[in-house]
């Protein structure tokens, strides 16, 4: 299988490197990832400046080729698929990650990791975003090996291309990896902006403490909190069909 891997932490990130190495033995792996940190870029696209792309050769000894792209995660996937990829070498799968930090609940709307996978899905390719909780004791290499082993099962469940969000918890329950399908929960942050006054100017730094509130037991947040690996099928059609039906009825 031909696999394109991207991320939002940058092409040198440990999570991406671990995922590439775990899959390279059995698959043809190509990288197209940001030259630098791009977290929180969601599905942003560069439109007012040029995007530099350079060949990435650091893992060529493992048969892994790639592109180091000075753009957003979405730029990387879109540019590779539409401009850099040979016509007869379209990927069978697009992966994004492994991200350093969970992308659970509402974070899927802000995540560059999810944004990169979304771009693959928009091109009709099975796409998966993969993240590891920031406070997890599990090394990226272990998470990558577990994911690589489960990948065939994740893909065989769907007859058509799917868009999945996978999150590894802080600690695996009973020390055993178990993938559980669930919905997207709700996540918010308290004190999200730190006020900073410097040189007579006012600045704000994004941060904050996680506040999840109530989440159903089948939500991705609850699944991870119970030591399971959460898998959430996502979609890009944002139409509110119930509201649309009402508007049409009253038209």
Residues annotated in a binding site for a divalent metal cation: 8-9, 39, 99
* Nearest Cα residue to 163 out of 123, 214, 222, 105: 123
What Rg do the C-alpha atoms of the chain give, in angstroms? Answer: 19
* Nearest Cα residue to 146 out of 120, 172, 112, 111: 172
Burial (CB count <10 Å: 0-12, 13-18, 19+), residue 14: middle
* DSSP H or E segment with residue 60: none
* Nearest Cα residue to 221 out of 189, 190, 182: 182
How many whole angstroms separate alpha carbon 14 and alpha carbon 19? 9
Binding residues: 8-9, 39, 99
How many whole angstroms separate alpha carbon 108 and alpha carbon 51? 25
Q: What is the 3-state secondary structure (H, E, C) of 84-136?
A: HCCCCCCCCEEEEEEEECCCCHHHHHCCHHHHHHHHHHHCCCEEEEEEECCCC
The one-character DSSP state at 49 is S
What tokens were used for 63? 């048969």
């Amino acid at each position: 299988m031909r696999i394109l891997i991207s991320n939002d932490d940058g092409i040198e990130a440990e999570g991406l490197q671990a995922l590439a190495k775990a899959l390279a033995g059995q698959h043809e792996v190509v990288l197209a990832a940001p030259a630098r940190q791009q977290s929180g870029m969601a599905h942003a696209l560069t439109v007012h400046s040029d995007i530099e792309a350079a060949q990435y050769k650091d893992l060529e000894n493992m048969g892994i080729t790639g592109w180091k792209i000075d753009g957003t995660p979405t730029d990387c996937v879109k540019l590779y698929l539409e401009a850099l990829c040979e016509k007869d070498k379209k990927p069978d799968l697009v992966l994004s990650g492994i991200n350093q930090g969970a992308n659970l609940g509402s974070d899927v709307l802000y995540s560059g990791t999810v944004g990169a996978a979304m771009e693959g899905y928009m091109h009709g390719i099975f796409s998966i975003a993969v993240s590891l909780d920031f406070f997890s004791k599990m090394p990226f290499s272990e998470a990558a090996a577990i994911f690589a082993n489960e990948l065939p099962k994740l893909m065989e469940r769907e007859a058509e291309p799917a868009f999945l969000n996978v999150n590894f918890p802080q600690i695996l329950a009973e020390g055993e990896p178990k993938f559980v399908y669930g919905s997207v929960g709700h996540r918010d942050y308290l004190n999200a902006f730190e006020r900073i006054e410097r040189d007579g100017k006012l600045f704000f730094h994004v941060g904050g403490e996680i506040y999840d509130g109530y989440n159903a037991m089948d939500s991705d947040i609850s699944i991870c909190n119970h030591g399971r690996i959460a898998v959430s099928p996502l979609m890009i059609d944002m139409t509110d069909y119930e509201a649309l039906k009402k508007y049409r009825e009253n038209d």
